[in-house]
Structure 1
Amino acid sequence: MSQIFDLYVATETLADDAQQLGVTVEALQDISVQVSATLIAQPEAYLQLAYRVTLPLKCLATQLTWPKWQSNKVGFNDYLWEQTCLECFLAGRLIGKNYSIHNDSLLDHNDRTTNKTTSYIEINASPDGQYALYEFDSYRNPATLPPKPVLQADRQTHAFIDWNNISKLQTASQTSASQLYQYERRFRIPLSQWYDDATCDSGYDRVLDYIHPCVILSFDATVLYFAPKHAAPPDFHNRQYWTPFDRLAALTK
């Protein structure tokens, strides 16, 4: 099972964007972006994110910047949001340095609004294999650029994502019937890099409270922003628009 998200394009500048790309507003609204979040327990606890982008027109496909997968590019890099970028924001009582799963006095497991931390993580991933994970103590804080990288439990090593089964994914395909152009990427975030084995075994499924998958698609000089819900103007960091993490839906059986 997975928690499924349909992402929608931000509309503030959509008329101008359509004119620049030589298509209708309706064509841009017909771009389909879907993200699935799956929580897997064994043999290692991790969150898997799968992204699927479907374009309705060939002219959009020819203008889309979708970097080809390059295994030698896999690694941490900053400023990935400046072009096509697969993103996800995560928040929870166990994200950040202020909470520990071993201190249950801090947690009310039946109330998301009690004892919640303002810390959150931003995940950036380029289709070519580059990635970055950033940690914020509160809304866009610290405001330095590039942001503060997320570190593993040793507080020295950069956290990472694991690209899995990349060779089996479509990088760009066209179906003869509907003339749709699909682009897919999938990666997972091992939870053990933040928490020890005992923590993951006893409560890995309580790590997340909120999730906000987003996508930036770059078409030459035109950039489109996709999210389940949007602030105005678009602001992926605005937690008012994030979705509660549905553990039961996301947890594999």
Structure 2
Amino acid sequence: MSYWQPLRPHPLSHHAAQKTYSVHAHASLVDTRLIVCFEVHDPVHEIFWPAPDQFKQCDYLWENTCFEVFINPSAHTRYFELNLSPSLAWNLYQFSDYRTPNTMPPQRVHELALTKFEVSGQTISAEIDLATLNLAKQTLNIGLTAVIKTQHSLEYLALSHSIDQADFHHSGGWTLSLSLHEEFHDSHGQ
């Protein structure tokens, strides 16, 4: 189980001290589903939100306001990157190691692992079927991040920034550890 946590701008961000918005994120595991939610508080409408569109798979969402989830099974180098746009565009990419393969756009996951995606006001939530990605019943390292487009720039927010440049693919920023531990009972129910 996880609780709401603030996403922080990268320490070298030029406009971090001037920002008037905040982003909090939450992730939890239920059965074989990873449930993520991002909540934005933007009282002066500093953030540029992509225009509402339809539910569709798109590339390069990180060029605008976009919320991202990095999913890494512990003790493995492979990971997945889920991009969620407030426009309802989304994508899921797979990497075998740090930014590998290094192609643009990255390698898409074609299995439909995204089972729910909603935008309500300034709240973005999604559910990912981990069994589809062969990640069920594993301990997962999770990175919750956001690319926020404002009048001034793109800002990079994360639970944790582990290096001198904003790089969500660096596993040092995947600081949330989630696992489902099944309860086993013997034949006597103990």
If the TM-score is normalised by the length of the shorter chain, which range does it land in? 0.7 to 0.9
Q: 2:173 aligns with which of 213, 238, 241?
A: 241
Matches within 5 A, 1:174-193: 183-193=122-132
Matches within 5 A, 1:140-159: 140-152=99-111, 159=113
Matches within 5 A, 1:8-47: 8-14=8-14, 17=15, 25=17, 27-28=18-19, 31-41=21-31, 45-47=32-34
2:80 is aligned with 1:121: yes
Letter in 1 for 2:150: F
Over the aligned positions, Cα root-mean-square deviation in angstroms equals 2.3
Go from structure 1 to structure 2 and tell me whether the alpha carbon gap of 1:205 and 1:5 turns closer, same or farther (over 3 Å shift): farther
Paired residue secondary structure (1:186): strand
Paired residue secondary structure (2:4): strand
Is 1:162–1:190's contact at 8 Å kept on the other side of the alignment?
Answer: no
Paired residue secondary structure (2:59): coil
Paired residue secondary structure (2:137): helix
2:44 is aligned with 1:51: no
Q: Partner residue of 1:136?
A: 95
Q: Give the distance between the partners of 1:80 and 1:212, measured in 2 at CA.
A: 17
Q: Which has the higher contact order (CA 8 A, sep 6+)?
A: 1
Q: Give the distance between the partners of 1:244 and 1:213, measured in 2 at CA.
A: 8
TM-score normalised per structure 1: 0.64
Gaps (5+ residues) in structure 1?
19-24, 94-115, 153-157, 172-182, 249-253
Q: Partner residue of 1:83?
A: 64
- Please identify which structure carries the higher strand content: 2
Paired residue secondary structure (2:167): coil
Q: Give the distance between the partners of 2:176 and 2:117, measured in 1 at CA.
A: 25
Q: Partner residue of 1:111?
A: none
Q: Give the distance between the partners of 1:121 and 1:138, measured in 2 at CA.
A: 10
Cα-to-partner distance string for 1:161-211 (whole Å, 9 max, x where unaligned): 5215x4xx3x1xxxxxxxxxxx2111111223234xxxx8xxx332x4200
Paired residue secondary structure (2:172): helix
TM-score normalised per structure 2: 0.84
- Please identify which structure carries the higher helix content: 1
Q: Give the distance between the partners of 1:83 and 1:150, measured in 2 at CA.
A: 21
Is 2:56–2:89's contact at 8 Å kept on the other side of the alignment?
Answer: yes
Letter in 2 for 1:74: F
Go from structure 1 to structure 2 and tell me whether the alpha carbon gap of 1:49 and 1:237 turns closer, same or farther (over 3 Å shift): same
Gaps (5+ residues) in structure 2?
181-190
Cα-to-partner distance string for 1:116-167 (whole Å, 9 max, x where unaligned): 2100111101011110111111111111000001233xxxxx5435215x4x
Q: Partner residue of 1:251?
A: none
Aligned length: 180
Paired residue secondary structure (1:122): strand
Higher Cα Rg, which structure: 1
